[in-house]
Structure 1
Amino acid sequence: MSLIGQLETDVEIKAPADKFHDVFSCRPHHISNVTPEKIQGVDLHEGEWGKVGTIICWNYMHDGVAEIAKEVIEAIDDENYSTTFRVIEGHLLDKYKSFHFTVQATPKEDGGSLVHWILKYEKISEDVPEANGILQLAIDVTKDLDAHLIEQA
């Protein structure tokens, strides 16, 4: 059994790709306003919002438990509406040696977007489950953010 894992999913949304990408790449601290029951806060620890190398801290609920993930923004691709985060501290590193999130929004020809999530991780042991709960959290936050962006349009 491999300790290396990767989960991917696509979520169709009605919001434009550029607006969705802008929130994750430049304004993640607004996500807690949109979905406070899932994300309680996103704080800037070092750097500037919207810049590669910036360190942010997510306070979120996972399986009914308050958790924290400190992440560095590793890449922002404004042309392809993609942002990559690497976890550097927090609860996820209790179970995983490494954990990366990539979120990409792709415009659809008929309107709306397709949001593609990739979670890459290395488990600390074979006993650690796949990160399906974290993937579900990403899906739920995506849907809540979509509803908010549509409401604002």
Structure 2
Amino acid sequence: MTVFGKLEADVEIKAPAETFYEVFSGRPHHISNITPEKIQGCALHEGDWGTEGSVIYWDYVHDGKAKVAKEKIEALDEVNKSITFKVIEGDLLQEYKNFKIVVQATPKGEGSLVHWIMEYEKLKEDVPEPNTLLQFAVELSKDIDTHLSAQA
């Protein structure tokens, strides 16, 4: 078993890639209004919304437990509609030495394809793969899509 890992998942959505990307890059604080059962809050700690180097603090519920994460926006790619978050504090770092999340929205037919990547380094070999967190991200994408599609 290895301590380094990478999980990926794709989610087809109806919303345009540009709109989905805009929510994560420039308006992540709106996600708690879209799906309050998953995301209780999102606050800006440093920088400005939608800029590289900004630090965002998330309150969320994962596996039935209230958790927190402080993430730094490492990269924003307007052309490819991709955003990279690096976890710098919070519950995930109790089991993982490093944790990076990439979300990308690509136009596909009438809607988009959202691609999630989670790259991590476990603190110990017996730490489980973050499969339930990847499923959380997939469900979050569907909730955001439902909200965005209802507004269209």
TM over 0.5: yes
The aligned residue for residue 127 of structure 1 is 126
Q: What is the deviation of 1:59? A: 0.4
Supply the RMSD in Å over aligned alpha carbons.
Answer: 0.4
The aligned residue for residue 15 of structure 1 is 15
Q: What is the deviation of 1:78? A: 0.6
- SS of structure 1 residue aligned to 2:20: helix
Mapping for residues 80-119 of structure 1, pairs under 5 Å? 80-108=80-108, 110-119=109-118
Mapping for residues 1-150 of structure 1, pairs under 5 Å? 1-108=1-108, 110-150=109-149
Report Cα offsets for 1:76-113 as digits up to 9, x if no partner: 001000000000000000000000000000001x2100
Q: Which runs of 4+ in 1 moved over 6 A?
A: none
Unaligned ranges ≥5, structure 2: none
- SS of structure 2 residue aligned to 1:68: strand
- SS of structure 1 residue aligned to 2:99: strand
**Aligned length, in residue pairs:** 152
Counterpart-to-counterpart distance in 2, 1:66 and 1:19: 28
Q: What is the deviation of 1:138? A: 0.3
Unaligned ranges ≥5, structure 1: none
Identity of aligned residues (%): 63
* TM-score normalised by the chain length of structure 1: 0.98
Q: What is the deviation of 1:133? A: 1.1
* TM-score normalised by the chain length of structure 2: 0.99
